[in-house]
Structure 1
Amino acid sequence: MSHVIVIGAGVGGLAATTRLAAMGHRVTLVEQAAQVGGKLGRDDIDGFLFDTGPSLLTLPQVLAELFGATGAPLAESGIDLQRLDIACRYRFPDGATVDLPGDMDAIPGALDAALGAGRGAQWSAFLTRAARIWDVTEQPFLRSPIDVGTMVRLARSLADVVTVAPWRSLRGIGARHLSDPRLRMLLDRYATYTGSDPRRAPAALATVPYAEQAFGSWYIPGGLYRLAEELVARAEALGVEVRLGTEVAEVLTSSTGVRGVRLTDDTVIDADVVVANADARVVYEQLLPAPDRATRAVARRVRRSTRSFSGFVLLLALDDAPSDQPHHTVLFADDYDAEFDAVFGRGGPPRPVHRPTVYISAPSDPAVAPESGSGAWFVLVNAPPHDPDGGTDWDAPGRRESYADHILDVMADRGVDIADRIRHRRIITPADLERRTHTPGGSIYGTASNSASAAFLRPANRSPVPGLYLVGGSSHPGGGLPLVMMSAEIVAAMIGPATSPPKVP
């Protein structure tokens, strides 16, 4: 039986931990924070519970596969998935509003009713195109290790190359199918799922709206943090040693590969395999202090890549919360291009967006709001990473409070005025995210997919150091709950089963 150390208890790390333990490995999970979850965090403010990361789950089949592979099936777990009837309410700059149904078949009618006849047919035709990209890319890219061989196999099929259209951006493929600027704005929004700019992100990201609408938008009563709680409970049932408040200072190596980790208190834990659920930049620049030539090459590539943007968050405990608010709302910016220019530092250093798109998660869930009529709202705007030297210093005196006030004013201008209902307000800036998750600058997705190849060339799950693997949003296949669970499946398959797997509970 081999000993595996998993660094980081985000969802990718938890998924890898449970899979490897179910395959018979002895696993130690170490997490620098006092709670599991990583970017899938939870804050409790006077009994109001807030998910501080993802607010919806897509591709529920991936979660079901994880639970089925590690013990009792999802239906018998503590996770009760609920499909949202309204996936999201979108408000466009011209004031038009559409409640996008969670049922894919109902979407065309909703778009026609809100935006005008023919819009639904346009969107459906685009999703048909996106479905073809999904069929080509799901297995070889999302569910398999990414390597040169995979790229070569795709290149050999002219039909597949034409389908994926690697020479075209997400904005470009939208322009070919969507004549209504509001539909193009709706598509642009999905580039933000990878922290990217739709003008530069590859057309392959068209699979994101397809997957969300084909397989549904889902919520877990009690909040998505319940997923982290269930996964760590399953890990412990499988015999995993979970060590919270334990920070790794170094991955130890020998001439043959990894040999363990050194903690910040200088304790050494020996291991045969190390799985790092940490930002790839941290792994290659901090945890491997004396890398070889191959590792240095990967580190240079990671360092040269464009960081994804971060987020500025308001956690709002509301009295008398608006009763007509759907679970998710997007209030689009008047000038979406100006927003991407600001967060990526075009036309000046990276800077807060003056009139940003506002994302609101307002679950109608009595488990997260302690009193009848109250609400626990999570409000997010895209923001540049914390960078006091060359960009935005989110710790500058007064910046967080003044920008929070400004965001509330923007919301009111767009028809969601809740300033006089706020009982408690907590602000989470990119600097706070950096401190909470040890992610440079608080970049949510590691690197942005801001080139034709970037979506396919994230840091590989297998590092150049034998026995060291990467899992999670900054490595292949990318960020978001289903993708980090896929990365865990890839890594577990690479490591393989121990000789005598235990009977899973």
Structure 2
Amino acid sequence: MARIAVIGAGMGAMATAARLAVAGHRVTVYERGDTYGGSLGRHARDGFAFDTGPGLLHLPAVYRDLFVKTGKRPLEDCVDLVQVDPAVRHLLADGTGVSLPNASRGGVAAVLDEVFGAGAGARWSGVLGRAREAWDRTRRPLLEEPLWPNWEVLGREPYPALRGSGLLRRRPPTLAEVARRELGGPLAALLEVPALERGLAPAAVPASAAILPYMEHTFGSWYVRGGMRALATAVFERCRERKVEFVLGAQVREVLVRDGRAAGLLLADGTEVAADTVVCGAAPGPLVAPALRGGRWPGGAVPPRPGGPSRFTVFLALRGPRPGGTVHRTVVHSPDLAAEARTAFAGEHTERPTVTVLRPDDPTTRPDAAHEAVTVSAVCAPQGVLDWTDPSLVARYTERLLDAATRALPDLRERLLWHEVRTPADVEAATGAPGGAVPAPSLAGSGAAFLHPSNAAPLAGLYLAGGWSHPGGGLPHAGMTGALVTGLIVEGPDFRGSQ
């Protein structure tokens, strides 16, 4: 039985802790904050409740597998999973509205033909068919296996070229080029928005990012009754059932190194914690770099990615009931997605942004049936690039999000009781992520520029879990790190992924 210290109590860290405990190790989690769950927080006021992080779960099989492998009670016995249908409603810049059914490619194609004209569904199905090929080529190395030692091979673009397009004659295409040439018109925005929502600029990411909408359409969109925080609570309780210990309010200052391997943690209060193995479930740069060869990530390894964009969120308490037939998730598109992606990540976006409006049909989110809780959010530059402690900046962004949200909620202003905001500075304070950055999922292509560090760090006894390591950010990807890190620790460096 090894002593394992886990830094952070985010979803990837807890998934790793539960699996390691089942494998017979003594696991202790050290969390800087006063609660577990990382980005899956919950904000409550006056009987209203809001998720502070992801509002939906895609690829629930990751957490089903976690619960199967760590106990007798399956996921569905621990949380109430609800399929969201329609999966999403898009309100395009030209005023077009389109609601896409959940996990039904044929249904989506029929809707697109109806809204955009005959042939639109076939073009969309063609793009997703090529995305499926990219998924089949990269699923194991990107999601189910530790990062290969020759990880550079993942720099090749897996998205197949459309015959006659000429896209691959000069260079591999970006997602924006695929959207424009294979779909065109307003339909192109449906392919770009899933990347934009994850903090990826469609004109800068490889065509393999088409995997993101493919995953949504194939595996569906799911909500957890009681809010997504309930999923974090279920994983936390599973950890406790497996005798994982949690130490909250424990800021980790650095990873201790003895005899060339990780040997424990130094806490902010000066306490030293001995451990045989350390798992870093937080952003690894500030914590891990000093322990590696003079503070530098060694050559030949994928270094930690610099902090990316964050999210600006507005919680809305509304008077009046949630109307029947209301869509759970609506995406209100910016007038210019390309301009938004160029500016929103690097500075102040002065136009109306692309916003996601979440309106769950969940009595636990509101004081009674005569009220409604709504969450509106948009991707934005992190703290540091902009000063999100500036009240005037916060006020401007709040108004831009509210203006955009009125396209989905025309009576928003009349129904508004109160609103609260969550800025990138608030995200940084709550999660510890530098600048409040939200990690993006790993992607193949672009010379491997969109990979994250391997789960086995270049220091014996040190491993990385969570969204800042392979295979990147997002609830499914973070959960996958649990199986990868556990396999590497239990089976050793010859572990080649789940079978």
Instruction: Give me the TM-score of the superposition, normalised by structure 2.
Output: 0.90
User: Is structure 2 residue 265 aligned with structure 1 residue 261?
Assistant: yes
1:40-62 residue CA offsets vs partner (Å, 9 max, x unmatched): 11111122121111111111111
Mapped to 2, the partners of 1:477 and 1:332 lie a distance apart of 28
Change (3 A) 1:293 1:449: farther
Q: Among 165, 169, 179, which residue is 2:174 paired with?
A: 169
Mapped to 2, the partners of 1:263 and 1:153 lie a distance apart of 37
Equivalent residue, structure 1, for 2:364? 367
Mapped to 2, the partners of 1:497 and 1:44 lie a distance apart of 43
Change (3 A) 1:139 1:465: same
Q: How does 1:65-76 map to 2 (within 5 A)?
A: 65-75=65-75
Equivalent residue, structure 2, for 1:377? 374
Whether the 8 Å contact between 2:155 and 2:447 is mirrored in structure 1 is no
User: RMSD of the alignment, in Å?
Assistant: 2.6
Whether the 8 Å contact between 1:315 and 1:379 is mirrored in structure 2 is yes
Change (3 A) 1:176 1:441: same
The residue type paired with residue 43 of structure 1 is H
Equivalent residue, structure 2, for 1:146? 147
The residue type paired with residue 319 of structure 1 is R
- Provide the identity percentage: 36
Q: How does 1:452-471 map to 2 (within 5 A)?
A: 452-454=446-448, 457-471=451-465
Mapped to 2, the partners of 1:298 and 1:29 lie a distance apart of 30
Equivalent residue, structure 1, for 2:332? 331
Mapped to 2, the partners of 1:299 and 1:370 lie a distance apart of 55
Q: Among 338, 356, 372, which residue is 2:353 paired with?
A: 356
Q: How far did residue 313 of structure 1 move?
A: 0.5
Structure 2 residue ranges without an equivalent (≥5) = 163-167, 493-499
Equivalent residue, structure 1, for 2:246? 242
Q: How far did residue 403 of structure 1 move?
A: 2.3
Instruction: Give me the TM-score of the superposition, normalised by structure 1.
Output: 0.89
Mapped to 2, the partners of 1:262 and 1:299 lie a distance apart of 28
User: Is structure 2 residue 237 aligned with structure 1 residue 233?
Assistant: yes
1:373-416 residue CA offsets vs partner (Å, 9 max, x unmatched): 322211101111111xxx31111133213321332123225653
Whether the 8 Å contact between 1:369 and 1:376 is mirrored in structure 2 is yes
The residue type paired with residue 187 of structure 1 is L
Change (3 A) 1:291 1:154: closer
User: Is structure 2 residue 208 aligned with structure 1 residue 204?
Assistant: yes
The residue type paired with residue 355 of structure 2 is V
1:173-213 residue CA offsets vs partner (Å, 9 max, x unmatched): 3334213x222111111212541111111111111111111
Change (3 A) 1:273 1:294: same
The residue type paired with residue 121 of structure 2 is G
Mapped to 1, the partners of 2:343 and 2:465 lie a distance apart of 30
Q: Structure 1 stretch 222-231 or stretch 352-361: which is displaced more?
A: 352-361
Equivalent residue, structure 1, for 2:136? 135
Equivalent residue, structure 1, for 2:122? 121
Mapped to 2, the partners of 1:112 and 1:352 lie a distance apart of 33
The residue type paired with residue 367 of structure 1 is T
The residue type paired with residue 134 of structure 1 is W
Q: How far did residue 296 of structure 1 move?
A: 3.3
Mapped to 2, the partners of 1:326 and 1:376 lie a distance apart of 13
The residue type paired with residue 308 of structure 2 is S
Structure 1 residue ranges without an equivalent (≥5) = 499-505
Q: How far did residue 420 of structure 1 move?
A: 2.3
Whether the 8 Å contact between 1:33 and 1:244 is mirrored in structure 2 is yes
**Structure 1 SS opposite 2:196:** helix
**Matched residue count:** 483
Equivalent residue, structure 1, for 2:36? 36
Equivalent residue, structure 2, for 1:311? 311
Mapped to 1, the partners of 2:183 and 2:195 lie a distance apart of 16
